[in-house]
A and B are shown apart, each in its own frame.
Chain A
Amino acid sequence: MVPLYMAFLVGGALCLIGQLIMDLTKPSITPGHILIGYITGGAILSGLGLYQPLVQIGGAGATVPLSGFGHLLTQGTLKAVEQKGILGAFSGGVEAAAGGIVAAVVFGYVMAVIFNPKG
């Protein structure tokens, strides 16, 4: 099991990089851009085999940031490609990430129905 302090350090470091991107680059960078950058970056690093070592060291510190979600998509795709070839390239990623995606959509909708913005 990954010790908690490693999750803290790795997760914190990933967020710190995001903060540096927001503070030191163009002001037109929004949270949306950060999320897109992380999911894509995670997917690419994972494809290059560079993200798995980070998950070994940091555990949830590497899987909870959205780059971990990109990693999950890539790993699912690669695994499915082994088994099903080109069909796997299209189905594997979403299969692996299905739980998270559906949870996000459903919880998002439910919360929006229950709560109103406070402003």
Chain B
Amino acid sequence: MEAAKKRGLQSVAFENPPVLTSWAAVVGPKEGQGPWAQDFDWIFDDYSIGEKTWEKAESKMLRETIKLAISKGNYQSPDIELMLAGDLLNQIIATSFAAREIGVPLLGLYGACSTMAESLAVAAMLVDGGFFSRVSASACSHHHTAERQFRFPTEQGVQKTPSSQWTATAAGAAILERLGSGPRITCATLGRVIDLGQSDAADMGSAMAPAAVDTIKTHFQDLKRPTDYYDLIVTGDLGKVGMALAQQLFVKEGIVPQPNYSDCGVLLYDDSQGVDAGASGCGCSASMLCGPLLKKMVEGKMNRILLVATGALMSPTTQFQGETIPAIAHAVAIENQ
């Protein structure tokens, strides 16, 4: 028997679309110098946020972001029944250490940089399924913790290639509820893991673009929506290289008419900020969604967006072992109704 809310191969449509009632975005200094400074709730000017280690700083950033989303919605921490969150670090420590002080049940998620869409999709299913009535979904990344885990120590004299991306120091959190007013999550498409043989860790956009396009194509097929249904389709962190590839793949896969398409990794920084191909990291799509994008929806400048957060699922171990980079993308449709 087909599940009642399942659509097509990989999608779900919500009967009572969960409402995004409150959200917050917190970013680091570099992100604060970008084009969206006025749309973030808090820009801290020191990467350590007063903490002793970068890991503690990342955890604090996530914790403060979730707390901010809670207080913006005029709630207290215990009002949140469940917290869904993830980050890029081994054993998702930024998330678990942040949850230690928030004190509500936690489901920790890992989807690399696709985590924000993953947590929104799971949160929406739990709320629409009637299991919870108020859930927070969030994700974060910190440039310095990611660099030292995935690449080189920050002080090592390494030359970046033009396809490399800058891991964003940013976090985003949203509160989903059964009732309330605000933009709603109407449906979601969960992505398959796709690997087209790319192995350059300094070019994640190329590794992730096929996953993003696969999920977007499946989304339209599963939900029988026209490809120009959305005011904006925004991928997570493909960067300039991945975005250019995605646009070519749209044509190849017959996604016509071309959707109005952009990428959080391309949007987050100005070209003058020396970030090569753009931003990456869980915090990139999380902060862009919970900052500028949802703001534009509330202002009515956009009514339907599809967030397609993309993740490269490799680890330093698989890189050393010469594996190619598997990638994933989850799509979440957010609409004003």
Contacts and interface: CB of A to CB of B under 8 A. Distances in A.
Chain A interface secondary structure, helix, strand, loop or mixed? loop
A31 interface: yes
A119 interface: yes
B47 A119 contact: yes
A27 B152 CA distance: 14
Contacts of A22: 159
Contact of B203 (A27, A30, A118): A27
**Chain B interface residue number, banded:** 10 to 19
B156 interface: yes
Given A27-B200, A27-B203, A28-B200, A118 B158 contact: no
Interface string B154-181: 1111110100000000000000000000
Contacts, number: 27
Contacts of B244: none
A27 B163 CA distance: 11
B155 A31 contact: no
A31 B202 contact: no
Contact of A27 (B54, B153, B158, B161): B161
27 contacts: A22-B159, A27-B161, A27-B200, A27-B201, A27-B202, A27-B203, A28-B199, A28-B200, A28-B201, A28-B319, A30-B152, A30-B158, A31-B152, A31-B156, A31-B157, A31-B158, A117-B144, A117-B153, A117-B154, A117-B155, A118-B154, A118-B155, A119-B47, A119-B54, A119-B143, A119-B144, A119-B154
Interface of A: 22, 27-28, 30-31, 117-119
In the complex, the 9 A-B pairs of residues with the closest C-beta atoms, listed nearest first: A27-B200, A119-B154, A117-B155, A119-B144, A117-B154, A119-B47, A27-B202, A31-B158, A27-B161
